[in-house]
Amino acid sequence: MNWKTSLNPELVEKIAKIEDKIQEKRAHVQEVALNNQNKVLDAFRHHNVNEGHFQFSSGYGFDDLGRDVLDAIYAEAFGAEAAMVRPQIVSGTHAIATALMGVLRPGDELCYITGEPYDTLQEVIGITGDKVGSLADYNITYSQVDLLEDGKADLEGIRRHLKENDAIKVVGIQRSRGYALRPSFMVSEVKDMIDAVRSVRDDVIIFVDNCYGEFSEEVEPTELGADLMAGSLIKNPGAGIVPTGGYIAGKKQYVEMSGIQLTAPGIGVEEGAMLSITPTMLQGFFMAPHMVSQAIQGAIFTAALLEEYGMKADPLWTEDRTDLIQTVEFGNRDDMVKFCQAIQHFSPVNANVQPEPAAMPGYEDEIIMASGSFVQGSTSELSCDGPVRAPYRLYIQGGLSYEHVKLAITHAVNEVVYGS
Ligand SMILES: *Cc1c(COP(=O)(O)O)cnc(C)c1O
């Protein structure tokens, strides 16, 4: 049966129109993927990846050649001196916390220059939560340079703040918007921030939270002067097939300090059994440029189609992208909830689950979320969520294939707009 049979004819017509309209934009995203695939393939070739690297490792994990080559490939593809890719890193938050705690010492200050950091990082820093084990608990202070009204970085303010605060040891930059309203930062904007920092201080460590960003553009922050960067393998660089893990990449010395934080002094990056995950992590990284491009093309389709139906999409379908996140404003509770439920019903896993708005610890409003993913909580797989309050904005992210995103979004529109 043709997939369009169950759709309203007006919707079918609009889809055809949208596909024409976004073709050129999609072609650009495919070109980015081609260059990233080339970069990753080169790294695999240079390091002569072979079956010997796929061995199981146990116990201390000494002399694990697969782990070493995985680290080396991440480092090369990200233009970094070194990298550490580990299943022992449990999430993006853990990767970021490990990097920050690896390089900060009591009396130092961490300064975020992209405004308020991602929710979970606020607990790591010690500005929310009970502070136990946070940076604040270790007498590491925190300051922040807020964004300008238009959501851009305050380059002048950054220079001024850094000049006036000698204690600042690490400068934090968050590339993706996460769940904030501000736009995500293109890598070129991250570069402007790095230049602003360097124009007044060459002794600070520039750290980038790269979650959601990997391979959405042709360069990564570490290629443009960031000293340290971290991310999650259940987002972009795991391509949806890696079941757990995180990475830290950057200057060798800082990656090693992060390794000591993850394990123990004297051990650092030299130990840690990979069990049998290495081939999956290698394959995930190899497939990541393609998966990221599929998700981004899906986001462009989503934005274009929902704009066509009068909803407010951010980014617009025409805008350049630096992560996998698409937001859409529905303007009313009913449509938002129905749309989210439809996304769940068109997921490969848990399709029969009915998401409902519910209170969540730590949030003021009810939250609704749809996630029918193979890997628990994976946001490189198609999922959506948002607070159920005006303007009823859903964060829609991920997608392992363009086809899945197109099917799910189209059927969701069919239900919300045409009630079938
Ligand atoms: C997802 C994300 C994180 C944290 O990742 P978890 O794996 O959920 O802990 C941090 N920063 C940003 C910008 C993110 O998108």
Q: Tell which one of 208, 211, 242, 378 to mutate to probe ligand 1, the residue whose CB is within 8 A of the most ligand atoms.
A: 211
Ligand 1, residues 232, 378, 380: which to mutate, most atoms within 8 A of Cβ?
Answer: 232
Mutate to test the pocket of ligand 1, among 120, 177, 379 (most ligand atoms within 8 A of CB): 120
Q: Which amino acid is at 342?
A: A
Instruction: Judge if the beta carbon of residue 36 lies within 6 A of ligand 1.
Output: no
Q: Tell me, in angstroms, the distance from the centre of ligand 1 to residue 231's CA.
A: 7
The answer, yes or no, to whether residue 285 has pLDDT greater than 80, is: yes
What's the pLDDT tens digit per position in 327-355?
A: 999 999 999 999 999 999 999 999 999 99
Regarding the beta carbon of 382 and ligand 1, being less than 6 Å apart is answered no
Given a cut of 90, is residue 234 above it in pLDDT? Answer: yes
pLDDT of 146 over the 90 cut: yes
Q: Give the pLDDT of residue 181.
A: 85
Instruction: Kindly report the pTM of this predicted structure.
Output: 0.97
Phi, psi angle pair for 379, to nearest 5°? -105, 10
Q: Which range among 18-22, 31-35, 181-185, 304-308 shows the weakest confidence by mean pLDDT? A: 181-185
**374 CA to centre of ligand 1 in angstroms:** 18
Query: Alpha helices of 61-217 — where are they, by DSSP H?
Result: 65-77, 92-103, 119-125, 155-164, 187-200
Asked if residue 282 has pLDDT above 80, the reply is yes
Q: Could you tell me which residue, 1 or 337, shows the higher pLDDT?
A: 337
Edge-to-edge strands, sheet with 367-371: 312-314, 325-329, 393-397, 383-387, 367-371
Residue 202 to residue 209: CA distance in whole angstroms: 20
- Give me the pLDDT at residue 1, please: 82
The finding on whether 122 has its CB within 6 A of some atom of ligand 1 is no
Mean pLDDT, range 126-136, rounded to an integer: 95
- Cα–ligand 1 centroid distance for 99 (angstroms): 14
Does the pLDDT of residue 397 top 90, yes or no? yes
Ligand 1 pocket residue status of 174, Cβ below 6 Å: yes
Q: How far is 269 from 15, CA to CA, in rounded Å?
A: 50
- Measured in residues, the chain has a length of 420
Residues 405 and 344 sit within 8 Å (Cβ to Cβ): no
Rg, the chain, Cα only: 22
Between the CA of 202 and the centroid of ligand 1 the distance, in Å, is 28
Assign 363 a pLDDT band (cuts: 50, 70, 90).
Answer: confident
- pLDDT of 179 > 90? The answer is no
Residue indicated by tokens 């550490």? 84
